[in-house]
Structure 1
Amino acid sequence: MATRTHAHAEENKRIARRVPEEIATKRNLDLTDEVFAEDAVEHAPYGDSRGVAALRADFNRFLAAFPDFSATVEDIVAEGDTVAMRVTLRGTQEGEFMEIEPTGREFEIQNMVFTRIEGGKIAERWLQPDIHGLFRQLGAVESPVA
């Protein structure tokens, strides 16, 4: 039983890390259909996205704004149907992002991601990126500390 549980957790980790490593960093957006359930939901600070088509559109918009984007999985833990990851996000803003005109500035922030796997596909993800850190590094907001 423990071996089967361990194998299940390892498979769930493999599925979850495909998003930052293969879809986002390697820009293999065709994998979106393979990795996500058709009715998958992504919860993010800037709103929820529902369905594979919406998720693919989100990735396209984000990668257009940050064409050199990369995501590095720093830590990953799985239990049951849930995978938790700490991911370092990096990029340079070359396009509009959330109504912020291109700045040409680089960023590096942390993102916490919880992923729920169902039937071998991602059913739901909760994203908690350091949005304030991103906006501060892009020059959209000032740091409260001098």
Structure 2
Amino acid sequence: MADPTTENERIARRVPESIVTEDNLDLVEEVFTEDAVEHAPFGQEARGTEEIRESLRRWLEAFPDFSATVEDAVTEGDTVAMRVTLRGTHEGDFMGMEPTNESFEIQNMVFTRIEGGKVAERWLHPDTLGMLHQLGILSPPGGISAQT
């Protein structure tokens, strides 16, 4: 019998590594429970595999060269915490923002709950402010120096 901790990490890593980085949205139904929920920044949620697939499709259209590299993963019970480096170039509409053709590299904290061998819930906590700054969409407030 496989170690449940190792298996839960393997399942959680499939989203950033196999679905998103490899642009393989056909795996959504295989990896997520039918009623899975993704909690994203700005209070956005995707509920169910259809909404999750659509949300990921829009993201990949905005950032066609997108990649997510899992740097660290810690598993406790049914939850996997991952530190993930996100990279991409803004080449399509992103939340109503026209493409800037600028690239970003930020950190993202992802907490994934596994249920019955599938992803049931994910909480995404990317450095959104850093990303918007790197894309040239936002400038840091006066007097604060930003690192890019």
TM range (shorter): over 0.9
For 2:33, the equivalent position in structure 1 comes to: 37
For 2:4, the equivalent position in structure 1 comes to: 8
Please list the CA deviations of residues 79-113 of structure 1 after superposition, one character each: whole Å capped at 9, or x if unmatched. 10000000000000000101110000000000000
Matched, 1:131 2:128: yes
Q: CA RMSD in A?
A: 1.1
Gaps of 5+ in 1: none
For 1:19, the equivalent position in structure 2 comes to: 15
Question: Share of identical aligned residues, percent?
Answer: 65
Query: Secondary structure at 1:97's aligned position in 2?
Result: coil
For 2:59, the equivalent position in structure 1 comes to: 62
Deviation beyond 4 Å, 4+ runs, structure 1: none
More deviation in 38-47 or 67-76? 38-47
Rounded to whole Å, the distance in 1 between the matches of 2:106 and 2:97 is 17
Rounded to whole Å, the distance in 2 between the matches of 1:49 and 1:58 is 7
Matched, 1:120 2:117: yes
For 2:49, the equivalent position in structure 1 comes to: 52
Q: Which amino acid is 2:26 matched to? A: D
For 2:86, the equivalent position in structure 1 comes to: 89
Give the count of matched residue pairs. Answer: 142
In the TM superposition, residue 42 of structure 1 has moved relative to its aligned partner by 0.4
Gaps of 5+ in 2: none
